Structure 1
Amino acid sequence: MTEPVRYITVTAPDGNIAGYAWADSTEVGFVHRAVGSPSCFATGSEWRGRLYDAHRRGLSPAGALALFSREPGAGRVTQAPDLAALEELARTLTPADEQRLLGHLAAPDDPAWRELAEAYDALTDADREVPWGGGRKKPNGVIQVAYPIYSEPLRRVVKALWNLGAVSPDYRLASGPIPQVPPSGRMSPADAVRTATVILAAERCCDGMIADAVKDGTFDALVAALRAWHAGVQAGRLSGAAPDGTDDTAVARSHRADKS
């Protein structure tokens, strides 16, 4: 049975929303946003621990939330229909989130973009077939774990995605659900980065993520979205602007300098 929850929007010192401290009639908790800076994650973890401690010391859920609503970075107490609605809110991208994700991508004139285009365009249907190896019992009785066998051309595309920054350094994204490809088949560039992060980073500990994405079309959709974004940047056609007035092209051109 679900019930309404009251929550506080928590902002990290860097100005980004870290997540939401919540309380229902019996419990307290904290929902981290799916996208956030390291400062956001640290802030959310601190709030979560302190909120639980306050509740364990005897404060009611409502009392604990009211206490923390006076903390720096706390928003006003608001109500959501249930915890699922709050979790959905935490997965929603803001314009600032999108700019931060796109800011990790290589500059428009970086050779990594040409490499992605050439590698992807060279893929054949046979290259997309992913057989599995292993899964057999060895003479000593040990059963080898099954693993996907990716073709070299497909590996080339995956490497190009890593090299152009399609995998966000915030690997916490890999713990969330894969963004769904819209019926139109046109994924947003920010969702393409989130998807690449989930699939490529998770492949390192969960074999077959890339194989599944290739099979269901997600892999093609994320590559198409990134290439379309890159083409738009080169042609100067992008219309989105960051909160500080910086356009997408400037973000893409300056991000490497920011990281050095």
Structure 2
Amino acid sequence: MRTQQKRWRRFGIAAAVTAVVAMVAVAPNAAAAPNTPVTSHNHSATAGNTTAHTPRSLTSLATIPLRSSADFTYLIAYSFGNRVAPGQDTTRTVGAPGPVNEALADTVAEVRGHRDIPVYAQTEIADVLAAKYHMRNVIAIGPEKNHDGTLIYLSTDGVAAKVAAMRAATESTDVAGVIAFQDHLWRATYTSIANGINAFAPAGIAMPSTYDPQSGQQWTRSALAYLPTDYLGRAALVPRLLR
């Protein structure tokens, strides 16, 4: 299985690079001006925002930006999978956190330490932070609801956009630390940046990387199931980062 995962990762990286090149080729407005600061449609560039509004190139996107945890003014924690009880209607109720989100909550606690900085966490992580750590100053980011009460689950981009809107008043001085599953970390960090957030992964902190084969979300059960979706998401994100 590990050999298959390694082969798929190599294939996925090659496929992602090919997709990125193709997308840049057909999106001249995004690639023609790589020195233009990145801004989201809701936010203007500010001098203090050195990541979300810093010029970048394709080669600069090969690595995830890192920063010391001591610099963060708040954290964003992106969930990964869940556990669904037999008979549970996930169109109306959120699944239980499961082992991956529990590990992500542990990582939040490690990065935050004894500092009382805000944590914007998806519900599956926020629930663990409350139950296990009794952590204060946690803002839960949950699904939205349709008129009939069914849930609208947020994408990574949807979560980032919500956090960006809530932090708009302090955007110019904020430094956000991103907590996410290892294979999701690149996309989580750069999606945050694409939404105008000055975002970094915490330097020297290992992110959870073990998949949950019993996850209620099938695409998060293994690298083979997850990586194709993630690589496509990365490719789609690149033009937003280069414009």
Scaled to the shorter chain, the TM-score interval is under 0.3
Higher relative contact order (CA 8 A, sep 6+): 2
Bigger radius of gyration = 1
TM-score by length of structure 2 reads: 0.24
TM-score by length of structure 1 reads: 0.23
